[in-house]
Amino acid sequence: MLLVTGGAGYIGSHFVKEYLSKPGSEVVVVDNLIEGHRRALHSLGDELTKRIHLIEADIADERTVADAMERYYVDSVMHFAGFCYVGDSEAEPSRYFENNVAGSLKLFKVMDALGVKKLVFSSSCATYGDPQYAPLDELHPQNPVSVYGLTKYLIEQALWSYGRTKNWSTVCLRYFNAAGADESGLIGESHEPETHLIPRVLKAAKGEIDHLEVFGDDYETDDGTCIRDYVHVNDLADAHIRALDLLNVKTYSEAINLGTADGASVKRVIDLSKEVTGRDIKVKYSKRRPGDVAKLVANCSKAKELLGWQPKYDLRKTIETAWNWEQNRRY
């Protein structure tokens, strides 16, 4: 049985839906619902929901996690649970170290005690820090410049250690910017407050916020705004399934980038969003934010080679799915 931490969150719930598309499959979800939504799992419909065993608990609750692993004969883990805002992590480092790092170490302790050795981890391009070249491949030095990036880096290091000492098989998937929503419109992105660009652009299109604030238009890019690599959440889910298949074949300790290799500037996202929504989007430019780099784009050759993975969604389709969700969001 597969255990999914953070399975009620944005990316986790899209993974759960994709995983359950295999008839008869079941998952155990451990989520404390601090950021996640019970509705995300209930929205999937009775047939899927009855194959989800939701345990409302913290990953640091060793007793409950151990009980769940034993009761459901868990043999592999998808580890999505964690806090994921760079700005918050700088304001509250202790919270991030405790939840992300200490929480993960407790999860790993329980896995170790029960002999569970396969895990796919949600890592991040934030582990690289300031890019020395673009696009970034997995050999780029890891010098995280935020507390958030550092927490992901430390968890990766712990996983390499379990690989070396205990023969664990792990894949750290370093996502770039997750975006979009499931085409069904049943699930999508719902963070409070929402800081990610695409949902904020669409909230401005909807009139839910008065304008979109863009931080800096004087970067060394063609139009002066930052370039990021937006990868559709269902493409991420697909990569997770492939990573799990890999772990079932052989022992690995790998880190793999997940992006589209096609960077888009903030202005490009806004222009495409205007086309997709047919609405005007009010924009105000302000000063650069500390810590934002001009360009973050993935080199995804390794994902193609090792996982046979290629993103299916381009930016327009990603924005279309996000807009579909934004207009009819359920939570």
Closest among 100, 141, 148, 108 to 124, alpha carbons compared: 148
- AA identity, residue 248: N
Strand partners, 202: none
Output 96 or 323, the one with its CB closest to ligand NAD.
96
277 close to 51: Cβ distance less than 8 angstroms: no
Positions in 154-183 near ligand NAD (CB under 6 A) = 175, 177-178
Residue 117, helix vs strand vs coil: coil
Active site (catalytic) residues: 148
Is 81 a binding residue for ligand NAD by CB under 6 A? The answer is yes
Q: Pick between residue 178 and residue 300 the one whose CB is nearest to ligand NAD.
A: 178
Q: How many residues at the interface with ligand NAD, by CB under 6 A?
A: 29
Q: Which of residues 182-201 bind ligand NAD (CB under 6 A)?
A: 191
Q: Are 199 and 322 in contact (CB under 8 A)?
A: yes
Rounded to a whole number of angstroms, the minimum distance from the CB of residue 63 to ligand NAD is 14
Residue 265 C-beta: closest distance to ligand NAD, Å: 17
32 sits near ligand NAD (criterion: CB under 6 A): yes
Helix residue ranges, H only, 84-146: 86-91, 93-96, 103-114
Q: Is the Cβ of residue 99 or residue 277 nearer to ligand NAD in the bound state?
A: 99
Which residues ranging from 55 to 74 are in contact with ligand NAD (CB under 6 A)?
Answer: 58-60
Regarding 34 and contact with ligand NAD (CB under 6 A), the answer is yes
Interface region with ligand NAD, contact rule CB under 6 A, candidates 81-89, 130-138, 209-217, 271-279: 81-89
Q: Would you count residue 149 as binding ligand NAD (CB under 6 A)? A: no
H/E element holding 198?
A: helix 197-206
CA angle 239, 243, 248 (to 5 degrees): 150
Q: Which of 43, 76, 89, 124 binds ligand NAD (CB under 6 A)?
A: 124
Shortest gap between Cβ of 86 and ligand NAD (angstroms)?
10
105 vs 224, beta carbon nearer ligand NAD: 105
Joined together, the tokens standing for residue 117 give: 């050795």
Nearest distance in Å: CB 166, ligand NAD: 23
Judging by beta carbons within 10 Å of its beta carbon (0-12, 13-18, 19+), is residue 217 exposed, middle or buried?
middle
For residue 228, the minimal CB distance to ligand NAD (Å) is 10
Binding flag, residue 12, ligand NAD (CB under 6 A)? yes
Radius of gyration of the chain (CA): 19
Binding of ligand NAD at residue 8 (CB under 6 A)?
yes
Question: 170: burial class by Cβ within 10 Å (0-12, 13-18, 19+)?
Answer: buried
Give the residue with the Cβ less far from ligand NAD, 183 or 224: 183
Q: Do the strands 227-228 and 264-265 form a parallel or antiparallel pair, or are they unpaired?
A: antiparallel
> Over the range 257-290, which residues count as b (16 or more CB within 10 Å of their CB) and which as e?
bbbbbbbbbbbbbbebbeebbeeebebeeeeeee
| Closest distance to ligand NAD from the beta carbon of 35 (Å) | 3
> Nearer to ligand NAD by C-beta: 79 or 117?
79
**Token pair 């098989």: residue:** 169
Name the one residue in this structure whose structure tokens are 């050999």: 139
User: What residues line the site for ligand NAD (CB under 6 A)?
Assistant: 5-6, 8-12, 30-36, 58-60, 80-82, 84, 99, 103, 122, 124, 175, 177-178, 191
